Amino acid sequence: MRRARNMRPNIVSEAGLPTRMNQWWESIPFLTSAVVVVCGVIYLVCLLVGYDSFAEVCFLPSAVVSRFQVYRIYTSILFHGSLLHVLFNMMALVPLGSELERIMGSVRLLYVIILLATSNAIFHVLIALLGAHNPVLTDDYLMNECAIGFSGVLFSMIVIETSLSGVQSRSVFGLFNVPAKWYAFFLLVVFQLLMQNVSLLGHLCGILSGFAYTYGLFNFLIPGTTFYSSIESSSWLSSCVRRPKFIVCTGGNPSGYIPTHTSQNSTSGLLSGNIWRNLSSLMPQREVSTQSTEDSRFPGRGRALGSGQGQTASRLQSDSNLQERLLEDSSPNSTLVSSTPSNTHQLSEGRHSADSVATATGVPPHQGAVVSEEGITKLASMGFDRTQVEVALAAADGNLNVAVEILMSQQS
C-alpha cells in the first residue's frame, strides 16, 4: 500500500539525526570535547585566513635545541595540516579521551596530556640528537623534521587505555588480532605503510611515553589528589566544574589510575613527598584490600556476604587438625576419646602432650589450656561427652566458643 501524497512527512525520522548527534556530543566529557573544539577551531581559522606557515608552530628539534623555542612542544599538538588530518585525529580522540577522562577526571587528564606532550618532545629531541651526533652514522634529517598534530599524544593514550583495559589481545581494524602490548606498534607500522608524510619518530615517541607512564617512570611527577582538588575548587574554574560534562578527579574510578600515587593525601605540588617514597612507588607492592580501610562515617569492619561462613569453616578445620595432633601425641592407639572412666590416666597424658606442643610453639604451658571445672560442667550439661569436652577445651585453650565449634564439627 502506497502512502498518500498529501500525507505529512515523518517528523520523528527528520529530527532523528540532529537529536542523535546532540546526544552523542553531550555524551563526550568536558575536556575531550574541549580539545576537539580547540583543534577544530584552530584549523578553521587557519583555513579562513590562509595561514600555512606551520614551520613556525611545528615541533622542530633544531629550533628547540638551538633557539630554545619550547612553545613548539604545545603548539605542535594543536595545529593540523589538512582536513583529513584533524578529522582522523579527533575521531580517534573521542573514544580514547572519553574513556580516560571518565576514569581519571577532567583536570587529571589535562595534566596527563601536558605531561605526555612534554615527554614526547623530550624523547623526540634525544633521539634526533642521537641520530645527528652519533659516531657511526650522522644524519641531520631528524633534527630538521617538522611535526604537527595530536597523533603523538594519541599513541600514548592508546598504550595507556590498552593497559587499563586489561585485555590480552586487540583487533587491528577488524582484520586480525595482535597481543595487547604490541597493539600500538602494529598501528605504527600500518599507518606508516598506508599514509604519506607521517612522522615515524613522533608516533614512536608517543608509544615510548605511554609505556613510561604505565610502568610508573613518571610517578615522581604525578601529584596527589589534593593538587587536582585545589584546582577544581578554585573560583576561576567554577563555571567549568558546574557543567554536567565535567568529571571531577575524586569521582573517577580509583582502580583505573595508572600509575597509582603512593600517597593520595599528600600535599600539592609536582614533587610532593620525599625521594624514597617516590622511588618506592616504582617497586611492585603487595595489593591491599580496600575493605581494610575504615570509613569514619561507618565505624566498624565490613564483611562480604558468605565470608563469615568460610572463616568459620577454616577455623573449625584448623581446630580439628589441632585436636587430631593432640590425640595422636597423647595416645598412639587413639583411645583417648572414650566415655569410660578407665581412660583418666590417658587424658592426663593428653594434657601433658598438649603442654609440650604449646611449649614447642613458644606458648607457656597451661596458659589458657587449664580446663576449668565450670566450663566442663557447662559443656557436659549441653549433652556432650565429658572426655570429649575436656579434649576440646584443651585444644581450644579454654575458649568455650571454640570448644563448642570443635565438638559440633566432630558430631557432624
For residue 171, the cross-strand partners are 177
151: annotated active-site residue:
yes
Cβ burial 111-134 (10 Å sphere, 16+ → b, else e): bbbebbbbbbbebbbebbeebbee
Alpha carbon of 26 to those of 21, 94, 95: distances in Å? 9, 12, 13
Taking the C-alpha atoms of residue 270 and residue 157, their distance in angstroms, rounded to an integer, is 21
CA gap 268, 327 in Å, rounded: 62
- Cis amide linkage into residue 259, ω under 30° from 0: yes
Q: Which residues lie closer than 8 Å to 211 by C-beta, 6 or more apart?
A: 159
Could you say which of 80, 85, 124, 203 is catalytic?
Answer: 203
Name the burial class of residue 158, with classes exposed (0-12), middle (13-18) and buried (19+) by CB atoms within 10 angstroms of its CB.
buried
Residue 274 cell numbers, joined: 620525599
- Give, in degrees to the nearest 5, the angle at Cα 277 between 274 and 279: 105
Given its phi and psi angles, is residue 398 left (phi above 0), alpha (psi -120 to 50 degrees) or beta? left
Q: Are strands 176-179 and 169-172 parallel, antiparallel or unpaired?
A: antiparallel
Cell (9 digits) for 207? 608509544
Q: How far apart are CA 22 and CA 215, in angstroms?
A: 38
Catalytic, 133? Answer: no
- Residue 135 CA to residue 252 CA, distance in Å, equals 49
In this structure, which long-range contacts are made by residues 314-318, counting pairs with CB atoms below 8 Å and at least 24 apart in sequence? 315/402, 315/405, 316/405, 316/406, 316/409
Q: Would you give the end-to-end CA distance of the chain in angstroms?
A: 76
Q: Which entry of 98, 106, 151, 156 is annotated as an active-site residue?
A: 151
Rounded Cα distance, 182 and 96, in Å? 17
Active site positions, annotated: 151, 203
